[in-house]
Every structure is written in structure tokens, then in C-alpha cells.
Structure 1
Amino acid sequence: MSLSPELLLHGYSIGIFPMAEHRDDPDLFWVDPKFRGIFPLDGFHISRSLARRIRNCGYTVSINRDFPGVVDGCADRTDTWINQELRTLYQKLNQSGHAHSLEIWDGPNLVGGVYGVTLGAAFFGESMFSRRKDASKIALAYLVDRLRSCGFKLFDTQFLTAHLASLGAIEVPRAQYRNALEEAVTIAADFSADLDQSPDGVIQRITQTS
């Protein structure tokens, strides 16, 4: 099937998302998991070692500075579901304000990041990557802080992995997910709002309410 950005957003709004079998497969298919991975926004697990890493790593964090670079970083692996059509669609959604990236930089080098789609107060996490130790964990910490601080109510991770579970993600039945989604898409949130992104500020906000 071929998708438009509008049809892609409609799919997210009703609880489904597209994938390809691999990067060279031109075909896409909709996915509707029986159980959905989500990140409770008050349940991110920030260990002492991760907090130290955030404070001492020397990385800088940005949003929407290199959206294509983050998507390409996520697709740069042996097996990926991100084909050229999806890459183009996500780029169009980024240009229209419906898809966002969070980047982790080591000097001038992009070393990690995460990207996703937004509708109302729902953030649909698509993928993340890491080229340095803990870069994806640091990206998730900054992302959770941003989602909470900017009024988001739902952080969808699509599937639950051991890595995500170790940081606080859980799995919920499809019906429960769709109830949360139905409410979240009616609420306004602003992913791009100005925030204090200092390491201490992020750690303090997460640990105060998690």
C-alpha cells in the first residue's frame, strides 16, 4: 500500500502504525498489537549510574535539529522496518509539525537520538539509536522529561522490549491503550516548548515525581 501523511496520521489516531518487512521492501502493512508497549510518564526509572552518566557525559541535547539524521541512525542496522517511503513520510510529518526528533551530540557528532509522531498529547515513539554508551538511555530520559513538562499524556512505544522495561515501560491490552489514546489526542501539548535542558534540571524533575 502507498500512504499519504494524512492517512498515516489517521492510522496513529485509531491505534495502528505502519511497518515494512525490511528497508528494501516497497510494501507497507498496518500493525495493531494485541498488547501495546507504553511508558508511564511518571514511571521512568533513572538509576544512580544513569543519573551520573547524564551529569558527566558531556553530551549536548537538541530537538528537531537533525530529524533526517536521527531517522537514518535508527535505520542503520542489519534489520530495519524503515523503508524509503516511511523515511519520506516521516520527513513530511516533521515539516508539518507532526513528527519530532531529540538528538544527542558528542561535540559535532550525532551519537544517539529518538524520533516519533505527535497527535494532541500523544507521542508515538518510532525508534531510537545509540552510537555511544548509554546514548539511547540518555535520549529517553530527556524525552520523558520533555513529554511530561510539555503536557503529554501518552507515550506509546509500540512494543515492549527488555531495554524499555528496565527503564519503566509496561505492556497494556489493546482496549486499555485505545482508551488512553482516545483521550490523549483531544488534549493540546507542545513538543517544541522551551525547557531547561540542564542535566540537573532534567534529573530533578524526573526523580521528584517518578
Structure 2
Amino acid sequence: MFIVYMIPWLDRSLRFPDPSTALTEPNGLLAAGGDLSARRLLAAYHHGIFPWYNPGEPILWWSPDPRMIIYPDQIRVHRSLSKVLRNKPFQLKCNQAFDQVMDACAAPRGGQAGTWIVDDIKQAYHRLFVTGHAHSIECWLDNRLVGGLYGVAIGKMFFGESMFSKVPDASKIALTGLCRILDFHQFDMIDCQMYTDHLAFMGGETMRRGEFLLRLDKAVKKPAIVDLWGGFASESGISTSILSDKLIAI
């Protein structure tokens, strides 16, 4: 059952409430309603706001405090993962199977009965993909998609949305590859939204919402990279072994 909270209901305009007015419980709930048009989604990301809702609920918009982020140059590669990168024949690709990545992220996991990545979300992010704003990072093994993530890039900011693994370490490899690319292009941050132990293990940290929004505002105004993905955005992809040469294991 959806519980009604005292939050603003969005109208047809693209304006959002000030993120500082978001609820503390549930953490970050800011507004409801509106739509998932590309213009509204991009407006939301520019202001540190993202959609998340369950089937049967209206669209809910969030800006939690604190925020989970990863600096691309501070991704943490443990020795066990470094060994996997060097020795297993994984391939990294970008934007070759965006819809498949979303479908895999939407699949129930860990005893979950459902998913928040409903059909409307899939269609909305597919539109962002077609317009060049949304991207997928894919981990392949023996020509099978075994892990990956998707998100949105604006300026020098990447907004991570979801990730999945079908074999051990596949999502870690995708995240490592993403950080390698973004570090090369001097991206400021990856927005990971909410804290998880998995992201903390990989080098993620929390940041107060006020500081996050100040840094976000600067990052999204920086010029976008035209050829962001380079050789990763090809059918053959790139061997993950090159990542072990660029990152220090700890």
C-alpha cells in the first residue's frame, strides 16, 4: 500500500522543489507526480534529483542526504579483483546492449518479489539512450553479457542508476571500467545515490547533500565529451586486462 506523504505534487512545468525541503523520513523524498520525459529527467539530474518508485505508486522524486559518490580516480581495486582483471577473458563494452543491461538490472534478485525498474522506467531511459544521454557499461564473457551498469552522463558528471552480475565480480569489473574511462576524461564524480556496503568496498563515500549539490552544479556545466567511450564502444570491446595496468590493487 502506498502511504501518502506531505510532499509537493508536480505540475506540467519542469520545476522541482528545492532539494533542501526533502523529507528526512523516508530520507530524501522530495516530490511526486510529473512524468518521465527526457526534459524532466535531465532537469532532475541537473538538480541532484532522481526518480524511484514501486509498481502501483505515482512517480516519486528523491534527493537523499547524505549522498553516496565515487571519485573516478579513487576506485578501490582489491588484489583479488586485480587478479581477475589480469587473468580472466572478460571484455568490456559500452552502449552495445543498453536494453539488455536494463532488463538484467530489472530482474528480481536476492529474494526480491519485484523491481522498481518498471516498463515506464525502461522506456524513459531508452529515450535518453537514443539521445546520447544514457549509457551502459557491459561486462562480457564468452560472448555472453554477464554484468554491467547503466546511468546518465551530463557535463563531467555521471549518474549511476543500477548494476547487475550474473557471475562473480562482473559488476565490479563494469564499475572499474567506468571509473577508468571517466578518470581519463577528468570527470568530477559518479553519483551513486544511496549508501551500500558494496559501493563502500569499491571506494565510495558519503557526502552531505549541500556539498554534493554545489559540486554537482559545477560538474554539469563543464563541456561534455564527444567521444567519451573510445574503443570501449565497439562490438569487440576491450580486454579487461588493460585495467589492471592502470589501477593499483590494494
Fold match, TM over 0.5? Answer: yes
Alignment partner for residue 68 of structure 1, among 86, 90, 99?
Answer: 99
2:11 is the counterpart of 1:3: no
Displacement of 1:204 after TM fit? 2.6
Residue number in structure 2 paired with 1:25: 56
Which region of structure 1 is more displaced relative to structure 2, 26-35 or 60-69? Answer: 26-35
1:34 touches 1:174 (CA, 8 Å); kept in 2? Answer: yes
Q: Secondary structure at the match of 1:164?
A: helix
2:164 is the counterpart of 1:129: yes
In 1, Cα distance between equivalents of 2:94 and 2:171: 14
Displacement of 1:82 after TM fit? 1.1
Q: Secondary structure at the match of 2:164?
A: strand
Q: Deviations over 1:64-122 (max 9, x none)?
A: 00000001110101342211111101000000000000111112211100100111111
Residue number in structure 1 paired with 2:138: 103
In 2, Cα distance between equivalents of 1:180 and 1:169: 16
1:120 touches 1:186 (CA, 8 Å); kept in 2? Answer: yes
Q: Secondary structure at the match of 2:126?
A: helix
2:211 is the counterpart of 1:170: no
Residue number in structure 2 paired with 1:84: 119
Identify, as 1 or 2, the structure richer in helix.
1
Q: Secondary structure at the match of 2:158?
A: strand
Which region of structure 1 is more displaced relative to structure 2, 132-141 or 149-158? Answer: 149-158
Structure 2: gaps (5+ residues): 1-32
Residue number in structure 2 paired with 1:59: 90
Q: Secondary structure at the match of 2:135?
A: strand
Q: Secondary structure at the match of 1:207?
A: coil
Counterpart AA for 1:205? K
Which region of structure 1 is more displaced relative to structure 2, 72-81 or 122-131? Answer: 72-81
Displacement of 1:183 after TM fit? 0.7
Residue number in structure 1 paired with 2:128: 93
In 2, Cα distance between equivalents of 1:189 and 1:50: 31
Larger Rg: 2
Structure-2 change in CA distance of 1:148 and 1:169 (3 Å): same
Structure 1: gaps (5+ residues): none
Which region of structure 1 is more displaced relative to structure 2, 129-138 or 41-50? Answer: 41-50
Counterpart AA for 2:211? Q
1:64 touches 1:102 (CA, 8 Å); kept in 2? Answer: yes
Displacement of 1:26 after TM fit? 5.8
Aligned residues: 207
Which region of structure 1 is more displaced relative to structure 2, 95-104 or 51-60? Answer: 51-60
Structure-2 change in CA distance of 1:54 and 1:7 (3 Å): same
